[in-house]
């Protein structure tokens, strides 16, 4: 990061603006990966598992990876935003 970027982040007003933009993007950051993961698992179940086709197992793995990583990273992020709103 260059010197101007560091000075921008050090300013309290700009820091508050960055957090407010994160708050606005929270529904997109949290729910979009969940929707994609559920769609992939749903597609695997009805197209692969119920018909006995193992070609859809990659969709299951991809859906589980997205789901688990989203839960792992979003829970601390949401906790931080809740604590920040209380201040």
Whole-number pLDDT of residue 2: 54
CA distance 50 to 53: 8
Residue 67 binned pLDDT confidence (cut-offs 50, 70, 90): very high
pLDDT at 47 over 70: yes
Cα–Cα distance list, 85 to 20, 22, 76, 82 (Å) = 10, 12, 14, 5
Q: How many domains does the chain have?
A: 1
Q: Over the stretch 24-34, which tens digit does the pLDDT of each residue have?
A: 788 888 899 99
Looking at the chain, the whole-number percentage of residues with pLDDT higher than 70 is: 78
The range of the structural domain enclosing residue 35 comes to 3-86
pLDDT at 18 over 60: yes
């Amino acid at each position: 990061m260059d010197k101007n970027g560091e000075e921008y982040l050090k300013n309290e007003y700009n820091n508050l603006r960055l957090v407010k933009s994160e708050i606005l993007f929270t529904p997109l950051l949290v729910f979009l990966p969940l929707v994609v993961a559920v769609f992939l698992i749903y597609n695997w179940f009805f197209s692969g598992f119920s018909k006995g086709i193992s070609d859809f197992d990659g969709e299951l793995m991809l859906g589980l990876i997205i789901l688990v990583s989203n839960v792992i990273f979003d829970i601390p992020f949401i906790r931080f935003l809740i604590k920040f709103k209380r201040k």
